[in-house]
């Protein structure tokens, strides 16, 4: 009953504050004390007893009272930080002030007229300081950071001290109070649940302060200036910057959600460390994203750089968090960071005999963002990751999440961050080399069973995404194929399953109606041909499976070489799109998938779904068998025929893609690139859930004509200095402002006046550049030999052919090997804006207890309420 009375008193104080029209004096201590006394003891009470409508009413009708409330709450925190809050009463006052500010700040930020309040000097505050008193925001950040290293409140005291002899918090060296051992700190302090809870609430207040970004529109001009809160928090003005950065990083990377592995322990005992780890991770991501110098610094690889090139490191940044991260260099520190991140990323994949017996983390999206930033900022760390097979412990969970999220449109942001990380890693040779390690993890996934390497695993998952993912993933097709191109020169052996998948993609992408439907569709074919050329020229000896599959599907290449270019042929190919497609009879056998695999998750209730008739997964069907049909035609008629799509048969998937809404993509950087005028596009979206933006940032130069309404692609650039760079929009939706109408990857070519239409001249311009010479020469040499063996020996099985191809050679018979072209990630303003929007969207959705930003006027992305 007493607890109810105290809450009632707190509620009365709130009503009194919001209903008084006259300003309440700041020296009325009895009144203001009601808001941080022991009336409320948990953050949920504060959020419940102070409704959003009353905060807005206070802001509009009694602005002086709101200003005084904020000032008094910050003043209490400053006084507590100076005294060290030795008593329980003072500690409770600190927590209530923190909760009150966490509740009010979002409503300060949503009003443009109030955003500068914390950075202005209050009347009368500077009388004695001769105009040198710091803004309220700086006082708040300083106090919170002091309290994060306050002995007996957030850290264990280094010496025995009673209430009458507290440590002087202004003189202590916070580097001695780092929260966890790891980078730069060897001592492991004892864990204390109360300290972890206090740290969590203080860090959530910091995150709330940083969230001013969420109330700015997603246009580049609104984000030109850095976030002042983050800028001060990570500057030299914050004397705790180094121990704070180290504490956050070490807490994250030392966290083990499984612990001793006792089954169902997470159901019997509360984990006080997980909320701290989650908010620490979010603070790290947000603070390292706020770097205005990044726009002028291109990410590694624009002119053939390697992971050891440090020219693009953030060593000179004013952001100390970026500075410290870029300076980590010890092998043991890298090992600690990588082990911690891989342990957490692989946690959701762990298999146990008892269902639900092991704890599962939910903050893997923020983990991927942090890993991305670490590789981007500290190239030595990325080189360390790539120099051993530990990079595969990053690859497997990324591919798992990509496969699992491919059918859920609410997780499109997760798809993009996963693909971008793989694109970044694929720009280094070591990544392709590591992919040759045999894949034996066997994570339950709905993909065909195969025996092969991690490269096979990657190709099979990418094929699954392209053929059964939802339409919003179409902008990623170029990224996915670019990754395969980057690693292809280093793949020593490819399984029959993966080989079949690659040929299936070429067969689908090379159909005439698809090629003629958009001015960029032929780029996908160039990518795939480059993959085959790389493997034939550099890894022929071990890839008999792929060579056999190419021979089996040689008609695809012949048809591509003989692609018609006259007006009538183009018109006939395009008219075929309008005919209703009847799927071919399917094999009665279902594709065998991994044990324990479940279908990809559907979208959550309330999220956008498309009709089954419009989704590619109902129309593209991969071959149901693991191996391609044996070689047939001419001398191979006696071989057993297996079910597979006819070589001349149109793939239904891409028809649906052709009629779907348009997309944009990164353009291949090679001689196939058409000179285009500079364009700009707008877009970015939160992507992590139901939060999507309706306004998008202005982008840098784009070499294509994107017209996407989806999240962006990543820009890439080749390592050869002579090739043009191809930054593409990493944003959505994009709008073309070039000389002609926006065109879609596979949109209508005749429905609108002035729409782009394929012409014989255009087709001929890229057809003559198709890199078919190597493949055709290989077919010219091997096909007669294989046919002769089949006739002479009467072969009816592919095993003998594979043995022959394994011992064959094309030395001296192929054209001069082409130089290896690696396309690397290149940052631009579009990618920066997209990552910022995506990250804050994830943070918004993850912080529901308490719901800090719920029902506030967020502008960075759109909230879809169910």
Label each residue of 703-754 as H, E or C. Answer: CCCCCCCCCCCCCEEECCCCCCCECCCCCCCCCCCCCCCCCCCCCCCCCCCC
How far is residue 445 CA from its own chain's centroid? 21
The residues pairing with 448 across neighbouring beta strands, listed in sequence order, are 593
With cut-offs at 50, 70 and 90, classify the pLDDT of residue 131: low
pLDDT > 70 fraction of the chain, expressed in percent and rounded: 70
DSSP 8-state symbol, 593: B
Element of type H or E holding 862: strand 862-863
Is residue 247 within 8 A of residue 265, CB to CB? The reply is no
Q: How far is CA 42 from CA 48, 95, 148, in A?
A: 10, 9, 19
**Among 525, 756, 575, which Cα is nearest to 662's?**
756
Write down the pLDDT at residue 311.
40
Is residue 183 within 8 A of residue 278, CB to CB? The reply is no
Residue 263 CB neighbour total at 10 angstroms: 13
Q: How far apart are the first and last CA of the chain?
A: 37
Write down the pLDDT at residue 492.
94
How far is residue 5 CA from its own chain's centroid? 48
With cut-offs at 50, 70 and 90, classify the pLDDT of residue 586: very low
CB-hemisphere CA count at 13 Å for 19?
Answer: 6
Residue 810 has pLDDT above 60, yes or no: yes
**Among 52, 175, 60, which Cα is nearest to 114's?**
60
Write down the pLDDT at residue 672.
31
CB-hemisphere CA count at 13 Å for 658?
Answer: 32
Tens-place pLDDT, residues 98-115: 999 999 999 999 999 999
Write down the pLDDT at residue 16.
86
Tens-place pLDDT, residues 314-343: 445 789 999 999 999 999 999 999 999 999
Residue 438's SS3 state is: strand
Is the Cα dihedral 623, 626, 631, 636 positive or negative? Answer: negative
With cut-offs at 50, 70 and 90, classify the pLDDT of residue 508: very high
Tens-place pLDDT, residues 188-244: 888 899 999 999 999 999 999 999 999 999 887 888 888 999 999 999 999 999 999
Backbone φ and ψ for 708, nearest 5 degrees, come out as -90, 150
Name the range with the highest mean pLDDT among 251-260, 437-446, 505-514, 576-585.
505-514
- Integer Cα distance of 307 and 297 in angstroms: 15
| Beta strands per DSSP E along 492-545 | none
Is the Cα dihedral 384, 390, 392, 396 positive or negative? Answer: negative
Tens-place pLDDT, residues 139-198: 999 999 999 999 989 998 866 555 555 566 667 878 888 999 989 888 888 889 999 999
Residue 604's SS3 state is: coil
Answer with the residue of higher pLDDT: 78 or 127: 78
Residue 173 CB neighbour total at 10 angstroms: 10
Write down the pLDDT at residue 477.
93
Residue 418 CB neighbour total at 10 angstroms: 26
- Integer Cα distance of 662 and 578 in angstroms: 17
Residue 309 has pLDDT above 80, yes or no: no
Answer with the residue of higher pLDDT: 841 or 749: 841
Rg (CA), the chain: 30
Residue 151's SS3 state is: strand
- Own/partner pairs, 756-759, CB within 8 angstroms, 24+ separation: 756/518, 756/519, 756/705, 758/516, 758/517, 758/519, 758/570, 758/574, 759/567, 759/570
pTM of the model: 0.78
Is residue 395 within 8 A of residue 458, CB to CB? The reply is yes
Retrieve residue 426's tokens. Answer: 């694929």
Asked if omega into 850 is within 30° of 0 (cis), the reply is yes
Q: Where do runs of H (alpha helix) occur along 562-634? A: 567-575
Helix, strand counts (H, E) of the chain: 32, 4
**Among 647, 646, 632, 644, which Cα is nearest to 555's?**
647
The residues pairing with 718 across neighbouring beta strands, listed in sequence order, are 823
Quickly list DSSP for 275-306. HHHHHHHHHHHHHHH--GGGGGSPPTTTTS--
- Integer Cα distance of 864 and 608 in angstroms: 9
What is the signed CA dihedral for 274, 279, 285, 290, rounded to 10 degrees?
-170
Write down the pLDDT at residue 631.
35
- Integer Cα distance of 290 and 315 in angstroms: 15
The crossing angle, in degrees rounded to 10, of helices 773-793 and 522-538 is 60
Write down the pLDDT at residue 161.
52
Residue 292 has pLDDT above 70, yes or no: no
- Integer Cα distance of 682 and 701 in angstroms: 12
What average pLDDT does the segment 459-472 reach? 92
Answer with the residue of higher pLDDT: 701 or 222: 222
Residues near 162 by Cβ (< 8 Å), separated by ≥ 6?
none
Is residue 505 within 8 A of residue 622, CB to CB? The reply is no
For the ranges 7-11, 296-300, 385-389, 696-700, the lowest mean pLDDT is seen at: 696-700
Is residue 546 within 8 A of residue 502, CB to CB? The reply is yes
Residue 74's SS3 state is: helix
- Integer Cα distance of 488 and 494 in angstroms: 10
Q: How far is CA 834 from CA 500, 663, 828, 845, 846, in A?
A: 35, 16, 10, 17, 18
Asked if omega into 17 is within 30° of 0 (cis), the reply is no
Write down the pLDDT at residue 12.
87
With cut-offs at 50, 70 and 90, classify the pLDDT of residue 713: very low
- Integer Cα distance of 30 and 208 in angstroms: 28
pLDDT > 90 fraction of the chain, expressed in percent and rounded: 43
What average pLDDT does the segment 4-31 reach? 83
Q: How far is CA 217 from CA 17, 410, 597, 686, in A?
A: 32, 21, 41, 12
DSSP 8-state symbol, 40: -
With cut-offs at 50, 70 and 90, classify the pLDDT of residue 299: very low
- Integer Cα distance of 48 and 42 in angstroms: 10
The crossing angle, in degrees rounded to 10, of helices 241-253 and 273-289 is 130
Retrieve residue 54's tokens. Answer: 């009353």
**Among 37, 28, 162, 153, which Cα is nearest to 100's?**
37
Average pLDDT value over all residues in the chain:
76
Element of type H or E holding 344: helix 331-345
- Integer Cα distance of 523 and 181 in angstroms: 50
Is residue 767 within 8 A of residue 745, CB to CB? The reply is no
Residue 459's SS3 state is: helix
Write down the pLDDT at residue 159.
62
């Amino acid at each position: 009953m007493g607890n109810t009375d105290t809450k009632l008193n707190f509620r009365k104080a709130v009503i009194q504050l919001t209903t008084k029209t006259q300003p309440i004096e700041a020296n009325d201590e009895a009144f203001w004390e009601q808001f941080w006394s022991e009336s409320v003891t948990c953050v949920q009470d504060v959020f419940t007893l102070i409704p959003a409508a009353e905060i807005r009413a206070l802001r509009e009708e009694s602005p002086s009272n709101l200003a005084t409330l904020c000032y008094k709450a910050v003043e209490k925190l400053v006084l507590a930080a100076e005294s060290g809050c030795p008593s329980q009463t003072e500690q409770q006052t600190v927590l209530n002030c923190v909760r009150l500010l966490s509740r009010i700040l979002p409503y300060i930020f949503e009003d443009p007229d109030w955003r500068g309040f914390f950075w202005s000097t209050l009347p009368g505050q500077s009388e004695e300081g001769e105009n040198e008193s710091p803004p309220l925001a700086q006082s708040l950040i300083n106090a919170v950071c002091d309290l994060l290293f306050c002995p007996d409140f957030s850290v264990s005291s280094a010496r025995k001290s009673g209430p009458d002899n507290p440590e002087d918090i202004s003189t202590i060296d916070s580097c001695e109070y780092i929260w966890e051992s790891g980078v730069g700190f060897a001592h492991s302090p004892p864990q204390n649940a109360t300290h972890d809870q206090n740290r969590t609430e203080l860090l959530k207040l910091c995150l709330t302060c940083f969230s001013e970004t969420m109330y700015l529109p997603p246009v580049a001009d609104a984000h030109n200036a850095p976030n002042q809160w983050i800028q001060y928090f990570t500057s030299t003005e914050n004397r705790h910057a180094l121990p704070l950065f180290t504490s956050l990083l070490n807490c994250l990377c030392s966290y083990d959600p499984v612990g001793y592995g006792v089954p169902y322990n997470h159901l019997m005992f509360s984990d006080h460390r997980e909320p701290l780890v989650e908010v620490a991770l979010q603070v790290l991501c947000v603070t390292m994203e706020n770097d205005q110098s990044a726009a002028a610094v291109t990410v590694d690889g624009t002119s053939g750089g390697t992971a050891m090139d440090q020219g693009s490191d953030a060593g000179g940044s004013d952001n100390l968090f970026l500075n410290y991260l870029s300076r980590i260099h010890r092998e043991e520190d890298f090992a600690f960071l990588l082990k911690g991140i891989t342990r957490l990323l692989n946690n959701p994949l762990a298999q146990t005999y008892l269902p639900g017996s092991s704890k599962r983390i939910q903050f893997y999206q923020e983990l991927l963002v942090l890993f991305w930033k670490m590789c981007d900022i500290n190239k030595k760390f990325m080189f360390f990751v790539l120099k051993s097979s530990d990079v595969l412990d990053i690859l497997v969970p990324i591919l798992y999440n990509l496969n699992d999220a491919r059918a859920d449109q609410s997780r499109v942001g997760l798809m993009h961050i996963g693909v971008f990380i793989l694109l970044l890693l694929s720009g280094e040779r070591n990544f392709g080399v590591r992919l040759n390690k045999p894949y034996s993890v066997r994570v339950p996934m709905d993909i065909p069973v195969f025996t092969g390497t991690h490269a096979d695993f990657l190709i099979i998952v990418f094929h699954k995404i392209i053929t059964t993912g939802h339409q919003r993933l179409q902008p990623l097709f170029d990224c996915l194929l670019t990754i395969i191109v980057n690693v292809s020169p280093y793949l020593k052996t490819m399984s029959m399953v993966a080989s079949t998948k690659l040929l299936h993609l070429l067969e689908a992408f090379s159909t005439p109606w698809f090629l003629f439907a958009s001015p960029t569709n032929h780029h996908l074919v160039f990518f795939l041909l480059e993959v085959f050329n790389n493997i034939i020229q550099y890894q022929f000896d071990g890839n008999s499976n792929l060579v056999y599959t190419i021979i089996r599907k040689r008609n695809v290449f012949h048809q591509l070489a003989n692609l018609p270019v006259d007006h009538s042929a183009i018109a006939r190919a395009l008219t075929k799109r309008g005919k209703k497609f009847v799927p071919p009879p399917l094999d009665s056998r279902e594709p065998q998938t991994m044990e324990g695999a479940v279908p990809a998750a559907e979208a959550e209730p309330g999220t956008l779904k498309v009709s089954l008739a419009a989704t590619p997964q109902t129309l593209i069907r991969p071959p149901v068998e693991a191996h391609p049909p044996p070689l047939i035609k001419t001398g191979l008629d006696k071989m057993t025929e297996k079910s597979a799509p006819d070589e001349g048969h149109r793939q239904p998937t891409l028809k649906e893609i052709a009629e779907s809404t348009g997309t944009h993509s990164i353009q291949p950087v090679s001689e196939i690139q058409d000179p285009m005028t500079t364009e700009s596009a707008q877009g970015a979206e939160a992507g992590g859930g139901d939060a999507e933006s309706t306004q998008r940032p202005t982008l840098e130069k784009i070499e294509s004509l994107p017209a996407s309404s989806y999240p962006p692609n990543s820009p890439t650039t080749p390592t050869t200095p002579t090739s043009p760079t191809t930054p593409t929009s990493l944003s959505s939706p994009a709008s073309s402002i070039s000389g002609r109408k926006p065109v879609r990857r596979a949109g209508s070519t005749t429905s609108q006046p002035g729409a782009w239409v394929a012409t014989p001249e255009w087709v001929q311009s890229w057809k003559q550049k198709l890199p078919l010479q190597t493949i055709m020469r290989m077919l010219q040499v091997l096909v007669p030999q294989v046919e002769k063996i089949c006739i002479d020996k009467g072969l009816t099985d592919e095993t003998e052919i594979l043995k022959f191809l394994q011992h064959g050679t094309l030395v001296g018979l192929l054209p001069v090997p082409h130089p290896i072209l690696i396309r690397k990630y290149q940052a631009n303003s579009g990618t920066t804006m997209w990552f910022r929007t995506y990250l804050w969207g994830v943070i918004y959705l993850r912080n529901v207890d308490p719901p800090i930003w719920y029902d506030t006027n967020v502008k960075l992305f759109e909230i879809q309420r169910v």
